Structure 1
């Protein structure tokens, strides 16, 4: 019985991963045609993705470029956190910070949003 439970857990993780990858692919395909509105960056930082110890600089780490932004569609305010459809891992902090350079806190940016679901958005379409 424990073997069966393990198989179900693995199957659930695989299905969840496949769904998330499929959804990101849909966003990548559709976002170049989405309308855009002006938004504002509220958070922008490089974050270690797989820190191997308490110190993010120690060991081998991948880095994520993390952003948060606020925008309004038809008077409703939304918050987004997608730079692009598929998140990228960077091999160094400097590389992640370079990806974030156009998006400092307070910057006014163009936010592309799904017209059917305005809470779904990206800063870099495609």
Structure 2
């Protein structure tokens, strides 16, 4: 009987050991796959964060090189001064244009007078 009990115990223990071994072996594979997935996602996230960091640095450099509020105000005042000077130049050129028209009229009269004298002879 002892032999029969040992055989029955082995008959139960061997499949039970196989179940336990299979459970641990598959569990380890599942954990390894999950860790690979998590590791892959972490690597992707790390690369994206590095890219974002580079973009933020580029934006900071761009913003640092932009003109300040005072610079823009000075530029606005300078442009206003230039506008005033252009108006003064335009007025001066208008006056010069009027003088040139009068001179052209005088020269035309002289030419006409000289041409008429030549025809009358």
Q: Note whether the superposition's TM-score is higher than 0.5.
A: no
Rg (Cα) greater in structure: 2
| Structure having the larger proportion of residues in strand | 1
Higher relative contact order, chain-length normalized (CA < 8 Å, sep 6+): 1
TM range (shorter): under 0.3
| Structure having the larger proportion of residues in helix | 2
TM-score of the superposed pair, with normalisation by structure 2: 0.26
TM-score of the superposed pair, with normalisation by structure 1: 0.25
